[in-house]
Structure 1
Amino acid sequence: MQQAILLHNPGAGDEDHLKSDLVKAIEAAGFGCVYFSVKKEDNWKQQLDQADFAVVAGGDGTVRRVVKELVKRNTLEKKLPIALLPMGTANNLSKTLGIDPQLDYKSHIKDWKKSKLQRFDVGVIKNVETIDFFLEGAGYGLFPKLMRKMDVVDQSQVKTAKDELQLALEVLYDITLSAKATTYWIKADDTIYEGKSLLLEVMNIQSIGPNLILSPQAKTDDGLFDVVIVDEEQREDFANYIKKLMTDETAKFKWKTFKAKALTIDCKSKHMHVDDELILPLKNPVVLEVRENVLEFLV
């Protein structure tokens, strides 16, 4: 019998009830299961080698927290496949992997025995002072500003995940109209790009933020980043694109995009993010590299 380690980020008031339901569903599907709340404890890190695969029940931030531990494991430790039970707001990672967050967790669990392993590359970002990794994307400009604004905006009327995504689009629209463009210089493999951008994103999956699909052709195992840029002269078109998304209209936007395996970026933006974490801008230049086949997901 395969052994699962269930790593759950419980919401307020749902821990005991949902914990029991999740464990029962996993055991009913023919797996052993041990439960840990990643919100309250860290002792799950010492139990990873006792499991055949990890189950992450939560949103994109919870997945990153678990993966941060997995990527630190050395080559002598076994690679632990990850099964996702998407329970977050955006669930961008799950959607890229084709895991439908609208399905209930029992449906996902029933599919695990017939699932295949999907290889997943990880982005590494470094400069003279630090090194970090990302699963979804890293970038400058509009999205870091959106994250800062969402931390302080009134969310008293937000009742559901859909409400929160709608509010994020509204805030992004306002920011797009007023944001200052910043200069950038990029060496992508052997090609140089430069200009002034509102948004500069190095994507490892298809979407970020409020399910904004920046790189629909992105693959998790091709060894390449998808770099997406919105230049200053595209401000009005991009704002109109966001406005249409807010009203569920069919919307199209012509991204400036290219693929690369390795990047060196010098960007003057005061704002930067790595996945869903807002960070102080790293000292330029910043080097980004793809590390291939670091993770495996059950899909």
Structure 2
Amino acid sequence: MSMDDVKTRGLVLLGCGKMGSAMLKGWLDGGLPASSVTVLAPRPSEWVKATGVNINTDLPDNPAVVLLAVKPQKMAEALPTLTSLGNGSTVFLSVAAGLTLANYEEMLGADTPIVRAMPNTPAAVGRGITGIVGNAAVSAAQLDLADTLLQAVGQVVRLENEGQMRALTAVSGCGPAYVFHLIETMAAAGEKAGLSADLALQLARATVAGAGHLAENSEETPTQLRINVTSPNGVTAEALRVLMDEKDGFPPLLDRAIQAAMARDAELGQ
């Protein structure tokens, strides 16, 4: 199964909010014909309408892929419209948090090829990272196709088992919000220290973006990069003494945040 199959058999996009729209844009920019896409959404945006895709029309008889991009709380309500495509050769690709492969098999049929994926919001600018895992009904070619589709919005990693999805969700799925909050708090601290609000925000935003770019592109580890910028007994070292405190610093705080995110993810999947 390949992108040629998607072009000829079609792709159905259930839900077209920010994530669904980001993926749709990536596919169209990559050469997928708008006529091959059917979007099912109660309130499609003006941008979606302008793309020329089919909107809320009859489903293709045997689409190659159905992308499930509605919120997990809405899935039980929205999915029954697609159950006729279950137990066939259509691959269901879900980007909803919390819902397990078993949840989907119960709704669609045990022989339905299903791939769970967890992208993150930088997908909106083509810089996302997505983890994927398939059920027993997914062939290697179908998993390759899911990988290819998701590369339209960034990097893709394949998980060893579904049990890793919860941790991935808490780290990279939720992670952009942690970084945005870091920018917020750095800016607030800078303003409190005497900078103007605009300048503090500019400094915090550029620092986090630049450091992230350096970390991703450097051959050195983040640990070594931190060491490189930390002079012994210097200013940075004193700040890190506070941030790296094993009792009250960043490591135990972030660990608690990750554990809380995983617990909530488990609740959503029940």
Bin for the TM-score computed over the shorter chain:
0.3 to 0.5
Report the structure, 1 or 2, having the larger helix content.
2
TM-score (norm 2): 0.36
Quick check: which one's strand share is greater? 1
TM (norm. structure 1) is: 0.33
Larger Rg: 2
Bigger relative CO (Cα 8 Å, ≥ 6 apart)? 1
